[in-house]
Chains A and B, each alone.
Chain A
Amino acid sequence: MVNNRTYLDHSATTALRPAARDALVDAAGALGNPTSVHTSGRRVRGILDDALQEIAQQLGVPRSWLIMTSGGTEADNLALRGAAHLGPVFGLATDHPAVVQTVQALNGRLLPVHRDGTMDLTALETALDQARSDGAPASLVSAALVNNETGVVQDLSAIAGLAHRYGAAVHTDAVQATGHVQLPDFDTVDLMSLSGHKIGAPVGVGVLVAQPDVKLAAVGTGGGQQRGIRSGTLDAAHAASFAAALRETLADAAAEQARLGSLAERLRAGIRAIDADAVFTAEDSPHAPHIVHVQFPGAVQDAVLFVLDQAGVDCSAGSACSSGVTQASHVLEAMGFEESLMRGAIRFSFGWTSSEQDVDAVLQALPDALERGRAMGRLFA
């Protein structure tokens, strides 16, 4: 399907890379279950092992550390739920619902952030200390390397330094980080979630990288594939596709980061010229190059998005629930922003297909969108 849109929502999902599509199509036709002992099974196992080898090599870990999943949400769940039997799990209040909702479901603890979006390390230490004194030391601290709404980057070294001192493992959801910032090494983190469709593989594949030292319990039961942690027939085609996308993503990461960073700067400069009141969220915090999160005071985000969509521009308010209603952002709330600002928040996110023309198209449509968005804001003031 030809996409004639100005697509600036790559953090929601990015374009499928041709190499990933080819790998998927080639491998999908292969007959055989990779755990079967016959020749057909071994052939598919070969495709899968090649893919795992590639992924492991790209990430600098042994192949046995990889647990292929259906995506980032499942990877996060395997890590948090898998570690919960070892003690309480801690998460970050601004993280993706896959983490926040899981921590809450496990009666774990959500840690606060500063107004700049970075984790409050004093609060982390206090919480770790308190849990230890209570006789139930934390088993795991989870913090997304790059926040999916604002692009704020967490200092995983500092977080891991504290967590490890208290005997807790460290998990990071690196779904938004892959290709956009340097991934942490596995002395720093013990567990890491990645998602295929944010790097140009199809939806439906992800990875949990899991150091075997963290004794994860299985969330589901079945045939015992993937160290018994994630049963179910292995998906060679999606693994091959993921491997191809990861290879391309990491191959030119440095150049791509610079390119996306300059697109983002072009967009920020253009927005400043259009609207002096625009507030760039966490502008002074460390943040990933591909996300421009901006709050337009007095504007109603639904109306802004509506006008941009009608003008051919796809972007987002950050988070939408499954029924399509924009919800107040738990991320901005946790950062302490007031309602009037949050209501005008828009996220533009770039990816490998983004160009200067995309930026210019947004800037052309934005004045009308803001005018109508603010008129709507006045209506409800």
Chain B
Amino acid sequence: MKVLAAMSGGVDSAVAAALAKEAGHDVVGVHMALSKNRDQTRSGSRGCCTVEDASDARRAADHIGIPYYVWDLSDDFHDLVVKDFLAEYAAGRTPNPCVRCNERIKFEALMDRARLLGFDAVCTGHYAVIGTDGPDGAPSLHRSANDAKDQSYVLAVMGPEGLKRAMFPLGRFADKAEVRAEADRRGLGVGHKPDSYDICFIADGDTRGFLQRSLGEAPGEIVTPEGEVLGEHRGTHNFTIGQRKGIGLQQPAQDGRPRYVLDVKPDTRQVVVGAAELLSTRTLEAADLIPFEDLEVGRRVQAQIRAHGAATGAVVTAVDSERITVDLDEPIRGVAPGQTLVLYDGDRVLASATLDRRA
């Protein structure tokens, strides 16, 4: 197969590219330039967006012995990921830009370009396993052998169609140390770079500051669920459902218990705060359903709403071609519209969807 290896400059994608080559594929390395004004050198843990990262990717490609190119996807990234991120916050939702990037950039914009240039598949350093036991032989998606690194949550949005042209050679590694050893064994001199966790386009890691700078100020009221005004804020986009810190109220609650953000209402510029138990929900409703197999009402599943969160036992209570509702065994906190809901059966991904309202 002719395989395009997306190379960020980090250890994971370098090892993935090497494994694809060693598996006998015809591999070409591509580094995506996602930012227009890139810093020359890396700072902190961000792992893909500087000229230094591009240079590391190039060195890795040289070592592996594959051609290497830089593709400028910065316009797509800005339009489809950064702008979407801001629009979602402005609309009072809590987006996951990594899910968005996988959906629209890596496995759409990059994949489209790759296909036009004659590639059969895109290979990345993601931690997840692509199986072959979906309905009618369609690809299935499973958690990686390494629980701590599992990225099936942010990949589920690809759906079975997207997986047909994807390769994740690292999914079978149970331990990050193994991957680093594979890197060292091949002389890929990127083995000791820190992992990246933060949002790549917010260089200083200050998401609130980024939102404030980008969206400006839109003052409004902080209210109780009953509508009592407790104070003011500088913009609803500064708040996420479930947030406790930085709400900015001078007066403590009368009962002395901590307050949480319960709801964000951009229309009325209100932020609703209240006690923790009001934050809990047992029902998740989601739209834009991407199923890996048919899901019927009554099906036992596990529901996950955060990239690094645990999955909670649940049962499907309503489902059609676009929407799905599940009831959770235990109530969970901090459920916000815009978050990605991924349903599992054990290690196997059943569906991805986007939470759109709290019941």
Binding site for B on A (CB under 8 A): 302-303, 306-307, 309-310, 322-326, 372, 375-376, 379
Contact = CB atoms under 8 A, between A and B. Distances in A.
B67 A309 contact: yes
A310 B28 CA distance: 10
Interface of B: 28, 31, 33, 38, 51, 54-55, 58, 67, 69-72, 112-113, 116-118
Contact of B116 (A309, A323, A325, A372): A372
Contacts of A326: 72
Given A324-B58, A326-B72, A379-B112, A306 B117 contact: yes
Nearest to A369: B117
B117 A372 contact: yes
Contact of A323 (B33, B112, B113, B117): B33
Contact of B113 (A310, A322, A376): A376
Given A303-B113, A307-B117, A310-B67, A322 B72 contact: no
A75 B116 CA distance: 43
Given A324-B58, A376-B116, A376-B117, 17 more contacts: A302-B71, A302-B72, A303-B117, A306-B69, A306-B117, A307-B117, A323-B33, A323-B54, A323-B55, A324-B69, A324-B70, A325-B33, A326-B72, A372-B117, A376-B113, A379-B113, A379-B116
Contacts of A306: 69, 117
Given A310-B67, A372-B118, A325 B113 contact: no
Contacts of B38: 323
A228 to B, nearest CB: 33
Q: Is the interface of B mostly helix, strand, loop or mixed?
A: mixed
A303 B116 contact: yes
Contacts of A325: 33, 70, 72
A375 B54 CA distance: 27
Q: Is the interface of A mostly helix, strand, loop or mixed?
A: helix
B359 to A, nearest CB: 40
Contacts of A379: 112-113, 116
Most buried by A among B55, B69, B112, B116: B116
Contacts of B31: 324
A325 B69 CA distance: 9
B28 to A, nearest CB: 8
5 contacts: A322-B51, A372-B118, A376-B113, A376-B116, A379-B113
B72 to A, nearest CB: 5
Interface pairs A-B: 4 shortest CB-CB: A324-B70, A323-B51, A325-B72, A375-B116
A91 B358 CA distance: 63
Most buried by B among A306, A309, A323: A323
A324 B67 CA distance: 13
Contacts of B58: 324
A329 to B, nearest CB: 14
A322 B58 CA distance: 12
A326 B71 CA distance: 8
Most buried by A among B38, B58, B69: B69
Contacts of B28: 310
B112 to A, nearest CB: 6
A302 to B, nearest CB: 6
